[in-house]
A and B are shown apart, each in its own frame.
Chain A
């Protein structure tokens, strides 16, 4: 996964520096090759590497930790059974999240959850949420403010349409680059950028209303 600027290096998940990206790709390919030869330990290493980012993604998409853990298990089993179709020329994390995304879509289709149109216009209302931000430094007050905003974001995330929420989560929780998200979702990069932006503005407006 590419690491966008401004992301914190201490966050969990496969946060990779650009120089190490190639070596991580080859490490993943090696683990997959070993798993295909029957080395279960190699697949366990893959599970350990991706269990946290996958649970973060599925957790934010389902809103429930237990459901997220169940989904994560199911995705790993699906991945294990499909390892033969993985091509090392492609990035493993992108392939993994594509399977996870398709798994979620299948689940929603089976449950027939109501989804909102992607063409839903974003309100032009640009009123300020917190007009006074005098000190951008990491003061205690600011930390409290951030913690409160994070809680509001968690609540607001559940109320925005899945298609927008998913792109937001892939970008800001899983730290994929816009290009990687475009690969995972088979969408043009411009569309991904615009929908991530729309998701953020939806969150901002819902937080204003809460």
Chain B
């Protein structure tokens, strides 16, 4: 005798999710059990309501409003050509404007532009040199710190003995595994179908 209180099988039966044997078993039981027939009739009505809930209304221009908010940068069409073309166009417009406003010839404008560039570059050169020097100093300090850290770690490990090293390696592995699983869960956007 099957369990009369097993309502889950009623829903699975209505959804066509029961295997042939289970389905036949349930149908045979229903013939002999008025209480289950009544319970199934109730679930059938509910099931019909479940699968026919009305949709939410979506405005006709919804897709267009989504497309308006889609970032252009991800388009991928422009590539390097658009910035280069707009840069050149800006340069040409600037030169033409200079020529129209000052009456200087284009060659004069080019000479003036190249002079201003070279003088500006000359002024910036010492600044670049100083920045490079600061960068080298920072690198020196960082390498000293790393060496010190390595030495400290070596002293610490030698004081632990093989058991301690094993324990630390185990903890490190466990932590890496947890980080890996967490990152995988965070990034897992495509699941197999």
Contacts and interface: CB of A to CB of B under 8 A. Distances in A.
A133 B44 contact: yes
Contacts of B189: 82, 85-86, 95, 98-99, 102
B70 to A, nearest CB: 5
Interface of B: 5, 7-8, 11-12, 14-17, 38-39, 41-42, 44-59, 62-67, 69-71, 74-77, 187-193
Interface stretch (A107-115, A159-167, A194-202): A194-202
A141 B95 CA distance: 82
Main secondary structure, interface of A, reads helix
12 contacts: A6-B51, A11-B51, A47-B62, A47-B66, A51-B63, A90-B191, A98-B191, A126-B39, A133-B44, A154-B53, A193-B17, A197-B11
A124 B69 CA distance: 49
Contact of A77 (B16, B54, B55, B66): B66
B62 A51 contact: yes
Nearest to A10: B52
A87 B190 contact: yes
Interface in A3-21: 4-8, 11-13
B70 A130 contact: no
A47 B67 contact: yes
Contacts of A73: 65-66, 69
B48 A146 contact: yes
Contacts of B74: 80-81, 83
> Which 8 interchain pairs have the tightest Cβ spacing?
A5-B16, A91-B193, A38-B77, A59-B56, A133-B41, A149-B49, A38-B76, A183-B191
A44 B54 contact: no
Contact of A128 (B17, B39, B66): B39
B39 A6 contact: no
Interface string A13-55: 1000000000001000000000011101001100110011001
Nearest to A153: B49
B8 A43 contact: no
Contact of A95 (B41, B63, B69, B190): B190
B46 to A, nearest CB: 6
Given A12-B55, A52-B55, A150-B54, A80 B70 contact: yes
Contacts of B62: 47, 51, 69, 72
Contacts of A150: 49, 52-54
A55 B65 CA distance: 14
A170 interface: no
Contacts of B192: 89-90, 183
A65 B16 CA distance: 32
A121 interface: no
Contacts of B42: 128-131, 133, 204
Contacts of B59: 69
Nearest to A85: B189
A209 interface: no
B8 A197 contact: yes
Give the interface centre of B14, B66, B74 by most chain A CB atoms within 10 Å: B66
A36 B76 contact: yes
